[in-house]
Amino acid sequence: MPINGDNQDRAAQQGDSGRASFPNDTALSEAIQNALVDAMERHGYSKASRFAVRLALAEAIANAFHHGHEHLPPSLPITVEYAVDPAKVVIHVEDQGPGFDPATIPDPTLDENIEKTTGRGLMLIRAYMTRVSYNAKGNRVEMVYDKP
Amino acid sequence: MAASNSRLKVRRQNNVNIVEFIDRNILDEANIATIGEEIAALVDAEPAPRLLISFANVDHLSSAALGTLITVNNRVRGKQGQLRLANIDPQIYEVFVITRLNKLFSIHENTDEALKSFT
């Protein structure tokens, strides 16, 4: 698993960080989720916090492959970076797709959308993370979770 | 259903198929697709399926899994069957609340309560 310490400077000495580029592969996706959650546990984040961040990361990875790389080869990697310190978790997920405008995603909780089988990932990310923002192209999401 | 790569444990009680998950984390799309196919086969095998899905061993659930549950719900309703969900961890129940899917599904505290609710 190519999680390396490239970004350890960003997390300073008190933090944990990791970076991985990987294709659409369950084991590789779970490896970075586990590494992030383990880092959170070392920094005293609660079970509820770890649940929230794992879910948000899993949704962001799924969005990157399912939507960002929808028309691209499954072997094409996405890149996940994270940095954990005692106060916050910062995650970036970047795909190589054309990007999207998050403002165009319909509200999945409206009655007319409630039975749709897709479209809840971004909503869950926003519900569980403190701050969520995209780059201008819309292919890189930044998710910040402040420790409660 | 007996395939070695099955993601489900299925038992039958009171003419209800009770489904439990082998995986603690239902996050991965490939696994979720397999789960969806296995449950669809259970639903298709009966004229008016009675299905109870237990989340007793589940720690995490993604939006893709919610989508599969909606598909299952539609499939069951299409055959005038009944679907119940039970044993949902409070953190996972919050996911249902956030997405308002607690209004769509019939969710029960535990297996016994869910079994009693079938008509």
Mean pLDDT of chain A: 91
Total domains present in chain B: 1
Which chain B residue has its CA at the smallest distance from A107's CA? B99
Assigned domain for B1 exists: no
CATH of the domain at B28: 3.30.750.24
Assigned domain for B98 exists: yes
Domain range list for chain A: 8-146
pLDDT at B74 over 50: yes
Assigned domain for B2 exists: no
Band of pLDDT at residue A7, cut at 50, 70 and 90: very low
Which chain B residue has its CA at the smallest distance from A51's CA? B60
* Distance between A58 CA and the closest CA of chain B, angstroms: 7
Q: A8-146 architecture in CATH? A: 2-Layer Sandwich (3.30)
CB atoms within 10 A of CB B6: 13
pLDDT score, position A77: 98
pLDDT at A9 over 50: no
Whole-angstrom distance, CA of residue A126 vs CA of residue A128: 6
Which chain B residue has its CA at the smallest distance from A26's CA? B28
Put simply, the chain A residues between 19 and 38 with a CB less than 8 A from any chain B CB are 26, 29-30, 33
**How confident is the model over B88-105, as pLDDT tens digits?**
999 999 999 999 999 999
Number of Cβ pairs < 8 A linking chain A and chain B: 66
CA dihedral B11, B13, B17, B22 (to 10 degrees): -30
pLDDT score, position A14: 60
Q: Which domain holds residue B62?
A: 8-116
Whole-angstrom distance, CA of residue A108 vs CA of residue A117: 9
Residue B19 phi, psi dihedral angles, 5° rounding: -110, 130
ipTM of the complex: 0.89
Higher local confidence (pLDDT), A1 or B117 = B117
Range A26-49 average pLDDT: 95
**How confident is the model over B19-50, as pLDDT tens digits?**
999 989 898 888 899 999 999 999 999 999 99
CB contact under 8 A, B95 and A124: yes
CB atoms within 10 A of CB A67: 19
CB contact under 8 A, A58 and B67: no
Range B7-26 average pLDDT: 94
Assigned domain for B31 exists: yes
Residue numbers in B near A123 (CB within 8 A): 63, 98-99
**How confident is the model over A91-143, as pLDDT tens digits?**
999 999 999 999 999 999 999 999 999 999 999 999 999 999 999 999 999 99
Range B51-60 average pLDDT: 95
Q: Name the strand (E) or helix (H) holding A3.
A: none
pLDDT at A5 over 70: no
pLDDT at A2 over 60: no
Question: Parallel, antiparallel, or unpaired for β B16-21 and B25-26?
Answer: unpaired
Residue numbers in A near B28 (CB within 8 A): 26, 29-30
* Distance between B101 CA and the closest CA of chain A, angstroms: 7
Give how far Cα A14 sits from Cα of A8, A80, B77, Å: 10, 21, 54
* Distance between A13 CA and the closest CA of chain B, angstroms: 31
pLDDT score, position B4: 58
Range A74-84 average pLDDT: 96
